[in-house]
Structure 1
Amino acid sequence: MNATDRTPADLLRSALAADPGRPLVTFYDDATGERVELSVATFANWVAKTANLLQGDLGAGPGDRVALLLPAHWQTAVWLLACASVGTVVDVGGDPAAADVVVSGPDTLERARTCSGERVALALRPLGGRFPQPPAGFADYAVEVPGQGDRFAPFVPVDPEEPAIVVAGAEYTAAEAVERARADAPGLGLTGPGSRLLSGLSYDTWEGLSAGLYAPLATGGSVVLCRNLARLGEDALAQRIESERVTTARH
């Protein structure tokens, strides 16, 4: 990654320029058996489409607050980078009533209804599937995102020194998030390109966000993001670590 990268969106652009075909996020849900692997290019395409939805259809811009009520999931990672691309403040698990936009999974819809702004719902079904019946008062992400543009340009340049992420009551600017992710990397066993971290941590702490997305992205590595990892036995976990060529793990 480039030393001049100062936002998570910068890190993704550098990763795309360096090696677009390499894996970036591999996702497992051990409750459903789902496995999804996204290359840097595929992940960046999802981010661009989601950022266009956020900026264009939802009218969000720098300084607006997005309450992200989602588990550790590949689509959550996409939203984190889409918010970074637009310049909104992403409040992980934050209060929807205090947000301009809420992005909710299927288990938090009632809480999300307290948002008086725009509401987006994700079914979190395999292959990014839509809801069988769209929840009232919400845009279905799986319906809205496919038609969005594959390239994104923010209306206003993102300021690295402005607030970007709120998690577990702590607020970080975009630049602080990048600096912390880089600083976390050695302790996570991320030594540079080719490092592959398996994370079973939730996204409701900085440690989970760093291990599950930001630190691998900041070092040219990749993440094997596992939801419901506790359902996997030790032998099966060891087999996954071997088959996915994992070099370091946090769970």
Structure 2
Amino acid sequence: MNATDRTPADLLGSALAADPGRPLVTFYDDATGERVELSVATFANWVAKTANLLQDELAVEPGDRVALLLPAHWQTAVWLLACASVGVVADVSGDPAAADVVVSGPDALETARACSGARIALALRPLGGRFPQPPEGFADYAVEVPGQGDRFAPYVPVDPEAPALIVAGREFTGAEVVQRARAEATELGLTGPASRILSGLPYDTWEGLRAGLYGPLATGGSVVLCRNLDRLGGDALDKRVESERVTAIAR
């Protein structure tokens, strides 16, 4: 984290420069038993590929709106940072009919069909796996993203004061996301690079996004992002907190 960072993409760039090998996002799905750990470098590579998909294949431009109909998931975190890298607005759980692009998980495909622009579907399978049968009218993210470039540079510099995120009906600029994530980190227990927060909150509120992505990124920490955490018993949660070296919990 640098004081000059003005956008979420800047925060990721600083994290990559500081320590690319450290864990950034560790994801659990307690309905399936999945666990995935992404280092800063691996996460940034997914972000770069996704940003290239947005900019080159989908031809989005700064100010366009991307509706993200996705749960709290490591691939959702990738899409949020990819949107920030390109300068498009990430509209979490937004209206697909008002979006230029919709990105949907398997449970929201019918809703996503309201988008008249490009439609991307994520199977949300372990290790980023493909759909067994691609949904009609959608491009399969797992098919499209591997061939994208590993480095990304926006055609137009991202304006920190431009709209970057819409969540729960509230709009934030990139600069506001960074400022709020920094200002609210302490109340989450995020105090620096040694901080590791476990979050079971959904991504459809600012509170879920700050705990599950932006707060750890803004402080140089990391997140253990848990989907379906309510299926985990108390003893198992205690063991996870210990094994993952968790220093703070948001649930």
Quickly name the TM-score band, shorter chain normalised: over 0.9
The residue correspondences of 1:151-162 to structure 2 (distance < 5 A) are 151-162=151-162
Cα drift, residue 39 of structure 1:
0.2
Residue 242 in structure 1 maps to residue 246 in structure 2: no
Structure 2 partner of 1:43: 43
Q: TM-score, normalised by structure 1?
A: 1.00
Structure 2 partner of 1:190: 190
Cα drift, residue 61 of structure 1:
1.3
Structure 1 partner of 2:74: 74
Structure 2 partner of 1:89: 89
Question: How far apart in 2 are the matches of 1:168 and 1:6?
Answer: 22
Q: Give SS of 2:107's match.
A: coil
Structure 2 partner of 1:164: 164
Q: Give SS of 1:54's match.
A: helix
1:44-82 deviation line (CA, Å, top 9, x unaligned): 000000000011101111000000000000000000000
Residue 200 in structure 1 maps to residue 200 in structure 2: yes
Structure 1 partner of 2:227: 227
Cα drift, residue 174 of structure 1:
0.2
Structure 1 partner of 2:34: 34
**4+ aligned runs moved over 6 Å, structure 1:** none
Cα drift, residue 149 of structure 1:
0.2
Structure 2 partner of 1:104: 104
Question: How far apart in 1 are the matches of 2:80 and 2:126?
Answer: 20
Question: How far apart in 1 are the matches of 2:135 and 2:250?
Answer: 35
Structure 1 partner of 2:217: 217
Cα drift, residue 113 of structure 1:
0.3
Residue 55 in structure 1 maps to residue 24 in structure 2: no
Q: Give SS of 1:107's match.
A: helix
Aligned-pair RMSD on alpha carbons?
0.3
Give the letter for the 1:94 counterpart: G
Structure 2 partner of 1:181: 181
Question: How far apart in 1 are the matches of 2:55 and 2:233?
Answer: 42
Q: Give SS of 1:198's match.
A: strand
Give the letter for the 1:123 counterpart: A
1:105-151 deviation line (CA, Å, top 9, x unaligned): 00000000000000000000001000000001100000000000000
Residue 146 in structure 1 maps to residue 150 in structure 2: no
Question: How far apart in 1 are the matches of 2:232 and 2:134?
Answer: 32
Structure 2 partner of 1:127: 127
Question: How far apart in 2 are the matches of 1:31 and 1:151?
Answer: 34
Give the letter for the 1:119 counterpart: R
Residue identity (%): 84
Question: How far apart in 1 are the matches of 2:117 and 2:225?
Answer: 30
Question: How far apart in 1 are the matches of 2:233 and 2:205?
Answer: 25
Structure 2 partner of 1:5: 5
1:144-178 deviation line (CA, Å, top 9, x unaligned): 00000000000100000000000001000000000
Structure 2 partner of 1:22: 22
Q: Give SS of 1:158's match.
A: coil
Q: Number of aligned residue pairs: give it.
A: 251
Q: Give SS of 1:38's match.
A: strand
Q: TM-score, normalised by structure 2?
A: 1.00
Residue 64 in structure 1 maps to residue 64 in structure 2: yes
Question: How far apart in 2 are the matches of 1:39 and 1:56?
Answer: 26
Give the letter for the 2:16 counterpart: L
Cα drift, residue 194 of structure 1:
1.2
Give the letter for the 2:233 counterpart: G
Task: Give the gaps of 5 or more residues in structure 1.
Answer: none
Task: Give the gaps of 5 or more residues in structure 2.
Answer: none
